[in-house]
Amino acid sequence: MLRPLFAFGFLLILVGLCSGRASALPVFAHRYGLSCQTCHTIIPQLTPFGERFLANGFRLPGARGAFPIAIKTNLAYSSAPDPSGLPKAIVDEVEVLSGGTLGNNTSYWMEQYVLDGGRSGQPRDMWVEIAGKHAAFSATSLFRAKVGQFTLPLPIDPETQRPTETHYLIFDQTVGANPFSLFQPRIGLDLSSQSLRTGLSAHLVAVESYDRGTATPHSGIDLMGSLAADRGPITLSVYRYSGQRVLISARDRFIRNGISLRYRHRRVGLTVLAQQGSDTNANGLGTVTHSSGNFVQASYDVSSAMTIYARNDAIADDIAGFTGSSVISLVMRPAPRVRFTLEAQRTARTTQFATGLEFAY
């Protein structure tokens, strides 16, 4: 009886050592001489100090500097076979990261994938941001102008700050022949304003109408607006993305409208997001295609080094129909700058298991 148990335990350790995704970003720990736990609980979850540091443009008054660069490696294992023939255990991601300040009011961020999904990678985020404060309506506001390639200002980060191995279905969703998804970073301009007193923030984004890695041509400019209200443990967010793509038969004009509610109190977290959309020509027939999706994600901090996540995702559209998924994930921090994940994903047809080990320096 002991031999099978020993074999199973040994296999679990091997799987853990051949695994990964994550978001340990020790760039600022290097730069300011802090521990990763100053800004994070279990990565990528931010502490209140980490949230303020991010909102302040990566600035820490009076802190010493250092060369602001880090390397992050993700080793991955999944029980599901890869359609392209990759082995189940791979070097999933290797990233070079850098971020910090270029002056009193200017910040920058760079996230370059050397490997992504076991293959040659591309830049994720590469931007420069100028910020300034202004007193208006008896409240101090922070204004920012970000230019470059950046992740869209969604209520939940679809990649770098995602706590699970499994992607959010709603952010990966494409409709018909339109290759657009909210997951991909975009090149353009993001103008934002945040009230430091009331907790209100807003974004106005203009990005190129193009999806990298696809054959669709540049189609002009897409627009996005978002608004968020932070009230202590509760954050309410809304967004609208309006775009266009030149498809084979005609131009497809589309919108994506979303609303999100986040709750965080002590050890418990809850996020609910719902989205609806429409396309004028995603089916190539010149008729409107409707789409929708949502997810509910809950978390519980067992300790300062262990968190459990559970999520249910659902998407649907008039062309592809319904797709659903349920995920449960155990995330642990066995050491600083190390994250270990055990995860199960259930779909209508299969149950898949994954394990992850991330380390960064």
pLDDT per residue, tens digit, the chain (361 aa), is: 434 333 333 333 333 333 333 333 455 555 555 566 667 665 656 676 766 666 666 666 555 444 567 788 887 777 777 776 666 677 778 888 888 778 778 888 999 998 887 788 999 999 999 988 654 434 467 899 999 999 999 999 999 889 998 999 999 999 999 999 999 999 999 999 988 778 899 999 999 999 988 888 888 999 999 999 998 899 999 999 999 999 877 899 999 999 999 999 999 999 999 999 999 999 988 899 999 999 999 999 999 899 999 999 999 999 999 999 999 999 998 887 788 899 999 998 899 998 888 877 7
* Total domains present in the chain: 1
Domain assignment present for 287: yes
Residue with tokens 């290097």: 30
Q: What is the predicted pLDDT for the residue at 6?
A: 36
User: Are 95 and 114 a contacting pair, CB within 8 Å?
Assistant: yes
Q: What is the predicted pLDDT for the residue at 3?
A: 40
SS3 2: helix
Q: What is the predicted pLDDT for the residue at 64?
A: 47
Domain assignment present for 6: no
Helix (H) or strand (E) holding 4: helix 2-17
The DSSP annotation for 6-58 comes to: HHHHHHHHHHHHT-------THHHHHHT--GGGTBSSTTPBPHHHHHHHHTTS
Domain at 175, CATH number: 2.40.160.10
Domain assignment present for 1: no
The DSSP annotation for 254-305 comes to: EEEEEEEEEEEETTEEEEEEEEEEEESSTTSSS--EEEEEEEEEEEEEEETT
Kindly list the distances between the CA atom of residue 196 and the CA atoms of 124, 134, 142, 202, 264, in Å, as whole numbers in the listed order: 28, 10, 7, 12, 19
Domain assignment present for 7: no
Domain assignment present for 3: no
Domain assignment present for 170: yes
Domain range for 28 is: 14-360
147 token code pair? 């230019």
Residue with tokens 């290759």: 179
SS3 5: helix
Q: What is the dihedral of CA 147, 148, 152, 156, to 10 degrees?
A: -90
The DSSP annotation for 146-207 comes to: EEEEE----SS-SSTT--SSSPPHHHH--BTTB---TTS-EEEEEEEEEETTT-EEEEEEEE
Model pTM? 0.81
Domain assignment present for 19: yes
Domain assignment present for 311: yes
